[in-house]
Amino acid sequence: MNFALILFILVVATGIIWAFDYFWARKKRPPDAKDPWWVEYGGSFFPVILAVFLLRSFLVEPFKIPSGSMIPTLLVGDFILVNKYTYGVRLPVINKKVVALNSPQRGDVVVFRYPPDPSLDYIKRVVGLPGDKVVYRNKKLSVNGKEIVQKKTDDYLDRDRLFYTPRFVETLGSVDHQILVEADAPSFVQQSVRFPYADKCHYNSEGVSCEVPPGHYFMMGDNRDNSQDSRFWGFVPDANLVGKAFFIWFNFSDLKRVGSFN
């Protein structure tokens, strides 16, 4: 379901009702006549729906985290806010950029349209920028020949599985963030689909190396061994970017989770 398209249709429909009543029908009614039901329900909702549409399209949009690919940074059930204008102003519904602003940086947590199926929204962390060479082999990440240091910290307890996973602090760009790496999980990466620029990725038993093409980004989840990301389905084009995630505003299971995150 394309909620942006539904909102757009509602804005157009209620806007037509409001304009028709304001500029023509209202003048034809007696001064003391009651507004007809289609004006009361249609026209009166127009300003509210328009405000929601503009806010959601150009400022911030709420999302709910559906999977554990970004644990421990984001948990299943986290409700987050996404900044819609950080990476440029885009037309709603068609998501076409009309004003270029900032570009994603390594370490940003980004919501984007899933390349194999743009009707789905995914959230991952930016690891590789256009032109970068990203290598992930034997659970170690390197970008442009420089290994990204992983500093061991306390193990993470998955309360659903009652399972402890090794946790590390990793620095991408200027962002320090936590990742999970399961020592017993295989290093081999199974390419799940053929994708554009697949020839720029090379797979072996130790992992994968990719050269990020122009206008694209390489994304990975913080839960490294439980994330379907660019290692499996390829690069994210700039046209698919939705915005930068920056705030957890609610979680039904843990109210303490409210706040910003890296």
Tell me the C-alpha distance between 19 and 17, whole Å. 6
Q: How far apart are CA 151 and CA 149, in angstroms?
A: 6
CA dist., res. 195 & res. 233, Å (int): 6
In sequence order, the 6+-apart residues with CB closer than 8 A to the CB of 33 are none
pLDDT of 160: 73
Q: What is the pLDDT of residue 38?
A: 82
Contacts of 227 (CB under 8 A, 6+ apart): 69, 70, 124, 220, 221
pLDDT in tens, 40-96: 888 889 999 999 999 999 999 999 999 999 999 999 999 999 999 999 999 988 888
Which regions of the chain are under pLDDT 50?
none
Count the helices and strands in the chain (H runs, E runs). 5, 20
What is the Cα–Cα distance from 144 to 172, expressed in whole angstroms?
Answer: 12
Q: What phi, psi does 114 have (nearest 5°)? A: -60, 115
Which residues form the catalytic set? 69, 124
CB 182 within 8 A of CB 167: no
Q: DSSP labels for 9-22?
A: HHHHHHHHHHHHII
Taking the C-alpha atoms of residue 250 and residue 70, their distance in angstroms, rounded to an integer, is: 16
pLDDT of residue 1: 58
Surface-to-core class of residue 73, CB atoms within 10 Å of its CB (0-12 exposed, 13-18 middle, 19+ buried): buried
